[in-house]
């Protein structure tokens, strides 16, 4: 039960966050679903460093794929899609320990948080690298192999 409430909250949070950043309307649904996927994976794997990495990888792959299918920039999807996984709670707990002058715990939780962020970044990086080497059959000549940028000007063909 609790899990379902959390997942629903995750979808709402992703949506409102995306709207706050001025995300185009037609990308919101995709972002919410990708964010939900990443968050469910994160819950299933119970917050280890590996979980952060896999969530980053999953969100990155799905965002790159969606961006190519829609012919829009990957960043538009990525920013709000990874927000449910970003360790805000870890940051808060670190600060609680710092405030209580409990430095060993602060260092431990702080390091965990930083490593988590690094793991997400690594997952995203690998997803980007994988897609940078895939050429999609272009159905529409405005899409180049990068998918998220522009048509190649005629004189470069």
Partner 1 sequence: MRFFGTLFGKGAEDLERTDVAVQAVVLAARTILESGGETYRAEETVMRMCNAFGMPDAEILAFPTGFTLAVRKPDGGTETRVMRIQHRRINLGMINDVNTVSRNAVAGRLTAEEALAAITDLRAHPLPPAPRQIALFALAAGAFSVMFGGGIKECLMCCLVGAVMQACMPLYAIARLPLLLVSLASGVLAAGLSGLLLSLFGGGQAAVISGAIMPLLPGLSMTNAVRDTMRGDLLSGMARATEALLSAVMLAAGVAVVLML
* Chain positions contacting partner 1, by CB under 8 A: 5-6, 9-10, 12-13, 16-24, 39, 72-73, 75-76, 78-79, 82-84, 86, 88-89, 91-96, 98-99, 117, 120-121, 124-125, 128-129, 142, 149-151, 153, 155-156
Rounded CA-CA distance 8/80 in Å is 15
- Name which of 50 and 149 has its Cβ closer to partner 1: 149
| Closest approach of partner 1 to the CB of residue 149, in Å | 5
How many CA within 13 A on the CB side of residue 107?
A: 3
CB of 27 to partner 1, least distance (A): 8
Nearer to partner 1 (CB atom), residue 137 or residue 156: 156
Task: Decide whether 4 or 135 has the Cβ nearer to partner 1.
Answer: 4
CB of 50 to partner 1, least distance (A): 18
Other CB atoms within a 10 A radius of the CB of residue 69 amount to: 13
- Residue 120: CB minimum distance to partner 1, A: 8
Judged by beta carbon, residue 54 or residue 82, the one nearer partner 1 is: 82
Count of Cβ atoms closer than 10 Å to residue 70 Cβ:
16
Helical spans, DSSP H, in the chain: 2-20, 25-45, 49-70, 74-81, 88-99, 103-132
Query: Based on the number of CB atoms within 10 Å of its own CB, is 119 exposed (0-12), middle (13-18) or buried (19 or more)?
Result: buried
Among residues 61 and 124, whose Cβ is nearest to partner 1? 124
Contact 44, 80 (CB under 8 A): no
Q: How far is the CB of 28 from partner 1 (least distance, A)?
A: 11
């Amino acid at each position: 039960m609790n899990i379902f409430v959390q997942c629903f909250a995750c979808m709402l949070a992703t949506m409102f966050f995306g709207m706050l950043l001025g995300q185009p309307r037609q990308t919101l649904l995709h972002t919410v679903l990708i964010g939900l996927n990443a968050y469910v994976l994160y819950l299933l794997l119970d917050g280890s460093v590996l979980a952060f990495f896999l969530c980053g990888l999953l969100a990155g792959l799905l965002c790159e794929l969606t961006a190519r299918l829609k012919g829009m920039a990957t960043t538009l999807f990525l920013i709000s899609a990874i927000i449910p996984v970003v360790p805000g709670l870890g940051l808060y707990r670190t600060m609680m320990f710092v405030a209580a002058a409990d430095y060993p715990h602060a260092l431990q939780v702080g390091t965990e948080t930083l490593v988590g962020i690094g793991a997400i970044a690594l997952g995203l990086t690998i997803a980007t690298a994988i897609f940078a080497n895939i050429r999609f059959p272009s159905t529409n000549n405005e899409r180049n192999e990068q998918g998220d940028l522009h048509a190649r000007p005629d004189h470069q063909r």
